[in-house]
Amino acid sequence: SQTIHQWPATLVQPVGSPLSLECTVEGTSNPNLYWYRQAAGRGLQLLFYSVGIGQISSEVPQNLSASRPQDRQFILSSKKLLLSDSGFYLCAWGTQMVRTEAFFGQGTRLTVV
Amino acid sequence: GENVEQHPSTLSVQEGDSAVIKCTYSDSASNYFPWYKQELGKRPQLIIDIRSNVGEKKDQRIAVTLNKTAKHFSLHITETQPEDSAVYFCAALSGTASKLTFGTGTRLQVTL
């Protein structure tokens, strides 16, 4: 069966520090991968999605970046965090051949102080 | 790109009443429409979905309807219970861009 792992679950980082969140998927190949951000009490904002290794589509301009070094690994990064980067970050995967839901990781609650 | 609008943003109903949440989408190529329930501090979980070749789908107290011509779809919850209280998100999967776009969410409160 397929599983998705996202870590860490919580993170407190100072302004200006770097960020690296990792997400891996098991039990499937060539998934679509997504990074979403959810500000407190708000909706799910799509940040990046990827349909294959090295293929990244950015949805909103920001100081975040994403990479997909392996088929089932998706990384969200920042060189210098801003206060406005605080939020609940969710990684998700979906299949490409059959239209299905996105399966979400447990999320990372990031607080930039 | 796809734009999904969701209404209302908050909804309060009494236990046993019905709740309806509506969404519209802009991309006519979208062909898959899931609904998610998110409890406080947790990840969104799929509760029901519908594909573009179907007009209605029902699962116990939950139903979803889709009008492709008008590009809108709705979630219906009947006989609401306190445990239905959560934030509900609609979404649309673009047929061309392989990306899932979410609505802004509806906070449903079921009161006793």
A74 token code pair = 């998706």
Site from A5, A47, A74, A99 to mutate, B interface, most B CB atoms within 10 angstroms: A99
Please give the pLDDT value at position B41: 85
pLDDT band at A42 (very low <50, low <70, confident <90, very high): confident
Site from A88, A95, A101 to mutate, B interface, most B CB atoms within 10 angstroms: A101
Please give the pLDDT value at position A39: 82
Contact A96, A30 (CB under 8 A): yes
Task: Name beta bridge partners: B77.
Answer: B19, B62
Please give the pLDDT value at position B93: 87
Task: Name beta bridge partners: B41.
Answer: none
Q: For chain B, what is the radius of gyration of the CA atoms? A: 13
Residue A103 pLDDT exceeds 90: no
Mean local confidence (pLDDT), A31-60: 88
Please give the pLDDT value at position B48: 95
